[in-house]
Amino acid sequence: MRRFILAGLLTALLLAGVVSSFASSSPDGLDSASTRGCTTNADGEITGGTCMAQGAKDHELADSPLADYGIAGVDNAYLSTGLSGIAGVLLVFAVAGGLFWVLRRSRK
Protein backbone atom coordinates (compact mmCIF):
# COMPACT_ATOMS: atom_id res chain seq x y z
CA MET A 1 0.00 0.00 0.00
CA ARG A 2 2.82 2.42 0.84
CA ARG A 3 4.50 1.78 -2.51
CA PHE A 4 1.26 2.59 -4.30
CA ILE A 5 0.85 5.87 -2.38
CA LEU A 6 4.50 6.86 -2.92
CA ALA A 7 4.27 6.01 -6.64
CA GLY A 8 1.14 8.16 -6.93
CA LEU A 9 2.78 11.01 -5.03
CA LEU A 10 5.92 10.87 -7.17
CA THR A 11 3.84 10.78 -10.37
CA ALA A 12 1.79 13.78 -9.22
CA LEU A 13 4.97 15.68 -8.28
CA LEU A 14 6.51 14.94 -11.66
CA LEU A 15 3.41 16.05 -13.52
CA ALA A 16 3.00 19.19 -11.41
CA GLY A 17 6.67 20.11 -11.55
CA VAL A 18 7.42 19.40 -15.20
CA VAL A 19 4.28 19.10 -17.29
CA SER A 20 2.61 22.18 -15.76
CA SER A 21 5.21 24.38 -17.47
CA PHE A 22 3.80 23.37 -20.85
CA ALA A 23 0.23 24.50 -20.09
CA SER A 24 -1.28 26.97 -22.51
CA SER A 25 -0.96 30.64 -21.64
CA SER A 26 -3.89 31.50 -23.92
CA PRO A 27 -7.10 32.57 -22.19
CA ASP A 28 -9.57 29.82 -21.45
CA GLY A 29 -13.18 29.80 -22.65
CA LEU A 30 -14.53 31.90 -19.78
CA ASP A 31 -11.86 34.58 -20.19
CA SER A 32 -12.47 34.66 -23.92
CA ALA A 33 -16.26 34.86 -23.58
CA SER A 34 -16.14 37.54 -20.88
CA THR A 35 -14.09 39.89 -23.07
CA ARG A 36 -16.28 39.43 -26.16
CA GLY A 37 -17.50 42.87 -27.23
CA CYS A 38 -14.57 44.79 -25.75
CA THR A 39 -11.44 46.08 -27.36
CA THR A 40 -8.14 45.24 -25.68
CA ASN A 41 -4.55 46.40 -26.06
CA ALA A 42 -1.48 44.20 -26.50
CA ASP A 43 -1.31 43.56 -22.73
CA GLY A 44 -4.90 42.28 -22.64
CA GLU A 45 -6.21 45.35 -20.82
CA ILE A 46 -9.70 46.50 -21.79
CA THR A 47 -9.58 49.84 -23.60
CA GLY A 48 -13.17 50.19 -24.83
CA GLY A 49 -16.40 48.52 -25.87
CA THR A 50 -18.92 46.75 -23.67
CA CYS A 51 -18.37 43.32 -22.10
CA MET A 52 -18.77 41.35 -18.87
CA ALA A 53 -15.12 41.74 -17.93
CA GLN A 54 -15.30 45.53 -17.56
CA GLY A 55 -16.55 45.19 -13.98
CA ALA A 56 -13.94 42.58 -13.06
CA LYS A 57 -11.73 43.26 -10.04
CA ASP A 58 -8.62 41.57 -8.74
CA HIS A 59 -9.20 38.81 -6.22
CA GLU A 60 -8.37 39.65 -2.60
CA LEU A 61 -5.57 37.08 -2.68
CA ALA A 62 -4.10 38.31 -5.99
CA ASP A 63 -0.91 39.32 -4.17
CA SER A 64 -0.50 36.00 -2.34
CA PRO A 65 2.72 33.98 -2.76
CA LEU A 66 1.07 31.40 -5.07
CA ALA A 67 -1.09 33.74 -7.19
CA ASP A 68 -1.30 33.27 -10.97
CA TYR A 69 0.06 29.70 -10.94
CA GLY A 70 3.51 30.82 -9.85
CA ILE A 71 5.62 31.64 -6.83
CA ALA A 72 6.22 35.30 -6.08
CA GLY A 73 9.86 36.30 -6.23
CA VAL A 74 10.96 33.57 -8.67
CA ASP A 75 11.84 35.28 -11.94
CA ASN A 76 12.05 32.18 -14.15
CA ALA A 77 8.47 31.47 -15.32
CA TYR A 78 9.04 27.72 -15.83
CA LEU A 79 10.65 27.28 -12.43
CA SER A 80 7.98 29.39 -10.74
CA THR A 81 5.14 27.38 -12.30
CA GLY A 82 6.80 24.05 -11.52
CA LEU A 83 7.51 24.97 -7.92
CA SER A 84 3.96 26.19 -7.35
CA GLY A 85 2.64 22.93 -8.78
CA ILE A 86 4.89 20.93 -6.46
CA ALA A 87 3.83 23.08 -3.50
CA GLY A 88 0.18 22.49 -4.38
CA VAL A 89 0.63 18.71 -4.62
CA LEU A 90 2.46 18.59 -1.28
CA LEU A 91 -0.18 20.77 0.38
CA VAL A 92 -3.04 18.60 -0.88
CA PHE A 93 -1.16 15.43 0.09
CA ALA A 94 -0.53 16.78 3.61
CA VAL A 95 -4.15 17.86 4.14
CA ALA A 96 -5.58 14.63 2.72
CA GLY A 97 -3.09 12.52 4.69
CA GLY A 98 -3.96 14.38 7.88
CA LEU A 99 -7.69 13.89 7.31
CA PHE A 100 -7.25 10.17 6.62
CA TRP A 101 -5.09 9.84 9.74
CA VAL A 102 -7.70 11.59 11.90
CA LEU A 103 -10.54 9.51 10.45
CA ARG A 104 -8.62 6.27 10.91
CA ARG A 105 -7.82 7.07 14.55
CA SER A 106 -11.42 8.02 15.29
CA ARG A 107 -12.68 4.58 14.16
CA LYS A 108 -10.50 2.70 16.63
CA distance 27 to 37: 15
Distance CA 35, CA 51 (A): 6
- How confident is the model over 64-86, as a mean pLDDT? 88
Mean pLDDT of 43-64: 84
pLDDT over 70 at 27, yes or no: no
| Rounded Cα–Cα distance for residues 21 and 69 (Å) | 10
pLDDT at position 45: 82
pTM of the model: 0.70
